[in-house]
Chain A
Amino acid sequence: MLDFKEVSFSYDSKNFQLEKVTAHIPKGQVTTILGPNGSGKSTLLKTVAKAHLPTEGAVLLRGEDIATCPMKQFARRVAVVYQQNEAPSDITVEHLVSYGRIPYQERFRGMTCEDEEAVDWALSVTGLEGKRHHPVYALSGGERQRVWIALALAQKTPILLLDEPTTYLDLYYQYDLLDLIQSLNVQYGLTVVMVLHDLNQAFRYSDTVLVMKEGRLVANGPPERALTEERIYDVYGIQMTVRYEEAIGWYTVPLKGR
């Protein structure tokens, strides 16, 4: 569905944040971008979001270079939830989520029935129906993050990008949010690309992982294949044990040593 073709990116044409990244993001799967701080994870996500245009190479969406796609049209195909978001303090949940319909709105025209249905749907799948008239600032951190995901869902795109969606959330809300993302993927076939730090969460929720180191892609594939103990040591510089837990049915990655 999404392809990186030798994508390089640099702010100053000297120090490259991304170097010739080539990868394929499969349709209908959850793909997680991993790597230490400064490895180019978020930069890679931003090239898919069209926040950065590649200095070299191209990002292809269904074979078409996204650089040539007008932004409003692109926003009907790819939705993004950034790590840090800003909104007026008194805005209600419903009003903020309705901004997800901006890509469909003509100038000087209000919301259509279709727009309202999309907002209702987004509020419903994120469990925010009961909070629609609440001001966003009155919600908990986890609920606010759901509001931003609802805004992205109201865009009705087949692809959802999330930049470190669990940052600032406590453990409960981290897993609550990742469960929601997984259910969106399973129930609605949404293609999800997200940046995460936690390897346990990456194992638990990803179909594919892209592992970045110093701007280069060093591994790409299912987590159990791409995240070996050797690779984790090579990328992060710490020794972790990767083991399959029969009792819970997935992998855990406890610390072995430094």
Chain B
Amino acid sequence: MKQWFWIMSVTILLLLTIIMSATTGTLAVTPISFIQGLWSGHDPHVEIVKDLRLPRIVIAIFAGAALAVSGILLQAVMRNPLAEPGIIGVSAGASFTAVAAITLWPTLFFYMPFFAILGGAFAFYLVYRLSWSSGLDPLRMILIGVAINAVFTSLGQVLHFSGGISLSATSDVAMSQLAMRQWSDVRIIVMYVTLGLIAAFSLFRGCNHLSLSDATAHSLGVPVQRLRLVISAIAVLLASVATAVAGMFLFVGLLIPHISRRIVGTNHRYLIPFSALLGAWLILLSDTLGRTLIAPQEIPASVIVALIGGPFLIMLLRRERHFARF
């Protein structure tokens, strides 16, 4: 199967990028000494890499996978190829509530993902509710999403510029700064995102069934509304946790699903794992480029993603054709 070939290929690409990312930077180690150091645990350089660089690598991988799969799920639920956690305001909602919560109650830092999920879910509910008019109108949904996104982004900026007690933390969440991430952040994102990815993959058939019209899916006994609710909840969880831990990344949830469909097709059995790996690779590569291109200065990974994503998206949209009416 050509799909498995592509999944294997992107896995190898990701592994190579992990090694490249871990060994490149201000403190450079060779790939062999890095692997040996990881194994033995006695190489002081590798220990520094392990403490400073590995957490951001793991976070980049899980955030990329989460945002890409969140985009896939939202597009399946809304049958709209433009649905993306960034565009429809889920990420902005998550970011705002996470920032607001840690500004108001800094001691509840560990519970930041919960607040992010609440905010993301609220933003998604608003978009879904306000764009529903005897069915989801794709254009209306995107426009309302853009409006909700703008409102939450502005609220986040108000908090940021009002200079709360956790200014550095608000800045990290709002602007996707992966530097200085710690193993405690890794634990949070790995736990939530792993659960979310497993749940997403277990529902690949449901995602496929939602690609039929609602009337046809209903006539086949597919519980359309219940399925939409469950898949949306997983999408919101993935995007919100990724935003809370890694910050705002636009385009990943839009760009990766579009590229992935072109490579492995529209079957979610392959689309979900492939886009998870490709999303992980994109953010990791962007983060690695961001911290090495003009070292010792850093460009946030989200900036690199947007720089790659913007032109690429325009190119893809000019050739768009995913769903067909028969």
List chain A positions with a Cβ less than 8 A from chain B.
49-51, 70-76, 78-80, 82, 84-91, 95, 99-100, 102-103, 108, 136-137, 144-145, 147-148, 155
Known: A51-B215, A102-B209. A89 touches B266 (CB 8 A): yes
The reply to whether B265 and A144 contact each other, CB–CB distance below 8 Å, is no
Query: At the interface, is chain A mostly helix, strand, loop or mixed?
Result: mixed
The 19 listed contacts between A and B (C-beta, < 8 Å) are A50-B219, A70-B221, A71-B221, A75-B219, A76-B221, A80-B219, A85-B216, A86-B211, A86-B324, A87-B211, A87-B212, A87-B324, A87-B326, A88-B211, A88-B322, A99-B212, A102-B220, A102-B222, A148-B326
Report how far A72 CA is from B324 CA in the complex, Å. Answer: 26
Question: Which residues from chain A contact B219 at a C-beta distance below 8 Å?
Answer: 49-51, 75, 78-80, 82
Q: Which of B211, B325, B326 has the most CB of A within 10 A?
A: B326
Question: Which residues from chain B contact A73 at a C-beta distance below 8 Å?
Answer: 221
Q: Is B109 an interface residue (CB 8 A)?
A: no
The reply to whether B265 and A51 contact each other, CB–CB distance below 8 Å, is no
Q: Is B36 an interface residue (CB 8 A)?
A: no
Q: Is B194 an interface residue (CB 8 A)?
A: no
The reply to whether B221 and A85 contact each other, CB–CB distance below 8 Å, is no
Question: Which residues from chain A contact B318 at a C-beta distance below 8 Å?
Answer: none
Residue on B nearest A11 in the bound complex, by CB: B134
Report how far A202 CA is from B202 CA in the complex, Å. Answer: 46
Report how far A146 CA is from B220 CA in the complex, Å. Answer: 17
The reply to whether B221 and A82 contact each other, CB–CB distance below 8 Å, is no
Chain B: how many interface residues by the 8 Å CB criterion? Answer: 23
Rounded to whole Å, the gap between the CB of B117 and the closest CB of chain A is: 25
Q: Is B33 an interface residue (CB 8 A)?
A: no
Rounded to whole Å, the gap between the CB of A153 and the closest CB of chain B is: 13
Residue on A nearest B134 in the bound complex, by CB: A11
**Which residues from 112 to 129 on chain B have a C-beta closer than 8 Å to any C-beta of chain A?**
none
Instruction: Report which of A51, A76, A85, A147 forms a contact with B212, defined as CB distance below 8 A.
Output: A85
**Which residues from 289 to 316 on chain B have a C-beta closer than 8 Å to any C-beta of chain A?**
none
Report how far A160 CA is from B323 CA in the complex, Å. Answer: 26
Residue on B nearest A83 in the bound complex, by CB: B215
Report how far A99 CA is from B221 CA in the complex, Å. Answer: 11
Question: Which residues from chain B contact A71 at a C-beta distance below 8 Å?
Answer: 218, 221, 223
Residue on B nearest A46 in the bound complex, by CB: B215
Residue on B nearest A95 in the bound complex, by CB: B267
Q: Which of A76, A91, A137 has the most CB of B within 10 A?
A: A91
The reply to whether A51 and B220 contact each other, CB–CB distance below 8 Å, is no
Question: Which residues from chain A contact B220 at a C-beta distance below 8 Å?
Answer: 75, 99-100, 102-103, 155
